[in-house]
């Protein structure tokens, strides 16, 4: 579908940006070169009368994206996780992007539920409320199970949302291609990669079975976490376009007055939010990547309840260890070790000077540690760290950007609960425990045990690998027969290399 017909969509997009006063804001955020600015204004300025007016009370970029509809709102939300692309100021503005849209009728939602579950709504639910929340992709209803009387939350995709998103994403790809063709200097922004990342996020959110799976996995990982719980997934009442969860009763974690009136310890809640996130990211490598106040409640017994699992973050074991060592190095103010970790992980090109990089990191860390404890910001540290690594040629890693963004959000939640909270005092024991378990002597012993298990599993294949390699070598013409012994040694090396590769594939 990526053809010239998308020009109409791009013209309306440009016209709306101009009419909302957002064109310069967006182009400046992307540091767009002159040729790209010329194309953008050509597509927008003469046709601004075709643009949507939007809500004048909103900031320009937010106003334009909200007016353009669900796909653009979601695109803005995804870009809010990429300050490396749009800049910190724009990312901050997009984080507060309005995600409240006019709901679709209750009767339409009930029809969707019947279609997906294959049963009449009245047979499944004794009550089914009007929408209580409406977002860009889906809306939520409160319902009561007819069989048990249990209250549940029913999430239903908007009718036709898949088709609408496909059309808009198609236009985004077309726009990204235009940017690459008309402004080669803008290729450093990797527009096609950004759209591809957005496409993947949306595809995952348009199949609620995947969100149900994420919720289930997250619940399994966190089952032993004290003071934290998740609403259970009702698998028999969930499908591709419908998701049913247990109802979460509690106070909004952002309502300090209500929390105080209920007698909750806000300082303890803030520390728990932060330590839970770090544990999920480091221990499990699977974390809730949208942990703002709107997605958490506090139960009557003080438990933190999290919900809405549309955006989850995943980092592999190796990246977790690198991230932990970086944090631990900053906590200990060991900038040389932090620099070495970046080089060992291949994040910074080996051609750069490690000592110079360590000095640059010291310039990042020391001003922050010189602040009063209440002003120390892990989010600010990570932001400065990415600025420095960019100067030293570090390539952007999406999983770390999402981790950074979530860290900033979680830190904001913790400080909203208690402005005096010392972020580093809370983080230190979590990171130290992970370092001891995953990088210290116990971790070495564990890794050696895993290696032995892999060798035991693949060991029986080694003779066959060696034999096949030797036969393949012997069948090749060889003008110098005296070198056969060396070729056999080389073949053995190849076989061992294959075995080691298999081993590391299994371990990492």
Per-residue pLDDT tens for 280-299?
999 999 999 888 888 899 99
Residue 446 lies in a domain: no
- Residue 338 · residue 360 · CB < 8 Å: no
Which is the catalytic residue, given 290, 316, 372, 433? Answer: 290
What are the φ/ψ torsions at residue 120 (nearest 5 degrees)?
-60, 140
- Smallest CA-to-CA distance from 91 within 402, 417, 414, 411 is with 402
Q: Percentage of the chain with pLDDT > 90?
A: 30
**pLDDT at res. 501:** 42
Q: Indicate the helix (H) or strand (E) that contains 249.
A: none
Residue 1 lies in a domain: no
- Residue 334 · residue 369 · CB < 8 Å: no
- Does one domain contain both 21 and 119? no
What is the Cα–Cα distance from 385 to 364, expressed in whole angstroms?
7
Contacts 24+ apart (CB under 8 A), 110-113: 112/156, 112/157, 112/159, 112/241, 112/242, 113/154, 113/156, 113/242
**Inter-CA distances, 438 with 276, 321, 329, Å:** 18, 7, 15
Which comes out higher in pLDDT, residue 330 or 356?
356
Number of neighbouring beta carbons within 10 Å of residue 161: 20
Tell which of 439, 468, 497 closes a domain.
439
Q: How many domains does the chain have?
A: 4
What is the Cα–Cα distance from 188 to 36, expressed in whole angstroms?
13
Range with lowest mean pLDDT among 173-182, 216-225, 250-259, 441-450? 441-450
For residue 140, list its beta bridge partners: 133, 155
By residue count, the chain amounts to 508
Domain enclosing residue 170, as ranges: 6-99+165-196
- Does one domain contain both 276 and 189? no
- Does one domain contain both 213 and 92? no
pLDDT digits (tens, 9 = 90+) for 460-475: 776 777 778 778 766 6
What is the Cα–Cα distance from 387 to 16, expressed in whole angstroms?
32
Residue 278 lies in a domain: yes
- Does one domain contain both 264 and 386? yes
353 labelled catalytic: no
As a whole number, mean pLDDT of residues 303-317 equals 89
Which comes out higher in pLDDT, residue 114 or 377?
114
Q: Indicate the helix (H) or strand (E) that contains 438.
A: helix 423-438
- Smallest CA-to-CA distance from 26 within 38, 39, 40, 12 is with 40
- Does one domain contain both 172 and 83? yes
As given in the structure block, the two tokens for residue 306 are 């999290």
Q: Indicate the helix (H) or strand (E) that contains 252.
A: strand 251-252
Residue 444 lies in a domain: no
As a whole number, mean pLDDT of residues 208-232 equals 94
- Does one domain contain both 31 and 151? no
pTM here? 0.72
- Does one domain contain both 84 and 109? no
- Residue 206 · residue 162 · CB < 8 Å: yes
- Does one domain contain both 326 and 362? yes
Strand spans (E) along 70-150 = 125-134, 138-145
pLDDT digits (tens, 9 = 90+) for 423-478: 778 888 888 888 877 776 666 676 677 777 776 776 677 677 777 877 876 666 65
- Residue 368 · residue 350 · CB < 8 Å: no
What are the φ/ψ torsions at residue 251 (nearest 5 degrees)?
-90, 145
- Does one domain contain both 318 and 262? yes
DSSP conformational letter for 126: E
Residue 453 lies in a domain: no
- Smallest CA-to-CA distance from 362 within 379, 384, 391 is with 384
What is the Cα–Cα distance from 417 to 268, expressed in whole angstroms?
9
As a whole number, mean pLDDT of residues 319-338 equals 85
As a whole number, mean pLDDT of residues 166-186 equals 76
- 3-state secondary structure (DSSP) of residue 479: coil
What is the Cα–Cα distance from 502 to 34, expressed in whole angstroms?
49
Q: What is the CA radius of gyration of the chain?
A: 27
Which comes out higher in pLDDT, residue 4 or 416?
416
Q: What does the angle CA 243 – CA 245 – CA 250 come to, to the nearest 5 degrees? A: 140
As a whole number, mean pLDDT of residues 132-154 equals 92
For residue 145, list its beta bridge partners: 125
DSSP conformational letter for 234: -
Residue 416 lies in a domain: yes
- Does one domain contain both 299 and 315? yes
For residue 125, list its beta bridge partners: 145
**Inter-CA distances, 91 with 42, 85, 394, Å:** 26, 9, 21
- Residue 339 · residue 354 · CB < 8 Å: yes
Centroid of chain to Cα 241: 22
Residue 451 lies in a domain: no
- Position 265 pLDDT exceeds 60: yes
As a whole number, mean pLDDT of residues 311-324 equals 86
What is the Cα–Cα distance from 237 to 212, expressed in whole angstroms?
11
- Residue 103 · residue 89 · CB < 8 Å: no
Q: In whole numbers, what is the pLDDT of the chain averaged over residues?
A: 79
- 3-state secondary structure (DSSP) of residue 312: strand
Contacts 24+ apart (CB under 8 A), 357-366: 357/388, 357/392, 359/335, 360/388, 360/391, 360/392, 361/335, 361/385, 361/388, 362/335, 363/388, 364/388, 365/330, 365/333, 365/335, 366/333
- Does one domain contain both 127 and 230? yes
Burial class (CB in 10 A: 0-12, 13-18, 19+), 458: middle
- Does one domain contain both 472 and 365? no
Residue 449 lies in a domain: no
What is the Cα–Cα distance from 30 to 185, expressed in whole angstroms?
12
What is the Cα–Cα distance from 184 to 177, expressed in whole angstroms?
11
Range with lowest mean pLDDT among 100-104, 106-110, 355-359? 100-104
- Identify the band that residue 381 occupies on the pLDDT scale cut at 50, 70 and 90: low
Burial class (CB in 10 A: 0-12, 13-18, 19+), 298: buried
As given in the structure block, the two tokens for residue 22 are 């957002």
As a whole number, mean pLDDT of residues 67-93 equals 71
């Amino acid at each position: 579908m990526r053809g010239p017909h998308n020009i109409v969509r791009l013209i309306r997009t440009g016209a709306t940006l101009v009419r909302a006063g957002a064109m310069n804001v967006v182009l400046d955020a992307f540091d767009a070169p002159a040729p790209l600015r010329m194309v953008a204004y050509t597509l927008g300025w003469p046709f601004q009368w075709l643009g949507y007016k939007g809500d004048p009370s909103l900031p320009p970029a937010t106003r334009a994206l909200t007016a353009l509809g669900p796909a653009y709102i979601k695109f803005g939300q995804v870009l809010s996780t990429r300050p490396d692309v749009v800049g910190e100021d724009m990312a901050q503005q997009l984080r507060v992007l309005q995600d409240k849209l006019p709901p679709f009728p209750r009767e339409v939602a009930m029809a969707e539920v019947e279609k997906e579950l294959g049963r009449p709504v009245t047979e499944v639910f004794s009550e089914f409320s009007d929408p209580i929340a409406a977002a860009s992709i889906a809306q939520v209803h409160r319902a009561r199970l007819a069989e048990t009387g249990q209250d549940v939350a029913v999430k239903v995709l908007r009718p036709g949302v898949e088709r609408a998103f496909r059309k808009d994403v198609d236009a985004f790809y077309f726009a990204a291609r235009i940017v690459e063709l008309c402004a080669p200097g803008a290729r450093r922004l990797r527009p096609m990669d950004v759209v591809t990342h957005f496409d993947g996020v949306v595809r995952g959110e348009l199949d609620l079975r995947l969100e149900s799976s994420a919720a289930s996995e997250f619940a399994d990982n966190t089952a032993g976490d004290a003071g934290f719980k998740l609403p259970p997934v009702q698998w028999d009442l969930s499908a591709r376009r419908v998701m049913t969860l247990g109802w979460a009763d509690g106070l909004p974690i952002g309502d300090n007055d209500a929390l105080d009136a209920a007698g909750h310890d806000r300082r303890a809640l803030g520390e728990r939010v932060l330590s839970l996130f770090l544990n999920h990211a480091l221990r499990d490598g699977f974390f809730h990547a949208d942990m703002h106040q709107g997605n958490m409640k506090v139960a009557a017994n003080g438990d933190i309840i999290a919900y809405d699992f549309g955006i989850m973050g995943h980092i592999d074991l190796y990246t977790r260890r690198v991230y932990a060592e970086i944090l631990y190095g900053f906590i200990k103010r060991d900038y040389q070790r932090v620099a070495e970790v970046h080089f060992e992980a291949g994040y910074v090109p080996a051609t750069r000077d490690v000592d110079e990089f360590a000095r640059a990191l010291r310039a990042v860390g020391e001003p922050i540690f010189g602040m009063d404890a209440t002003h120390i910001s892990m989010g600010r540290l990570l932001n400065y760290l990415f600025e420095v690594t960019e100067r030293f040629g570090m390539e952007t890693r999406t999983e770390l950007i999402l981790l950074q963004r979530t860290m900033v959000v979680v830190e904001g939640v913790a400080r909203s609960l208690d402005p005096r909270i010392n972020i580093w005092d809370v983080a230190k024991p979590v990171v130290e425990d992970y370092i001891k378990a995953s990088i210290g002597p116990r971790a070495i012993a564990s890794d050696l045990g895993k290696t032995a298990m892999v060798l035991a599993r693949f060991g029986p294949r080694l003779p066959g690998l060696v034999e096949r390699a030797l036969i393949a070598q012997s069948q090749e013409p060889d003008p110098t027969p005296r070198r056969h012994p060396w070729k056999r040694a080389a073949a053995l090396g190849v076989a061992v290399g294959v075995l080691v590769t298999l081993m590391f594939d299994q371990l990492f």
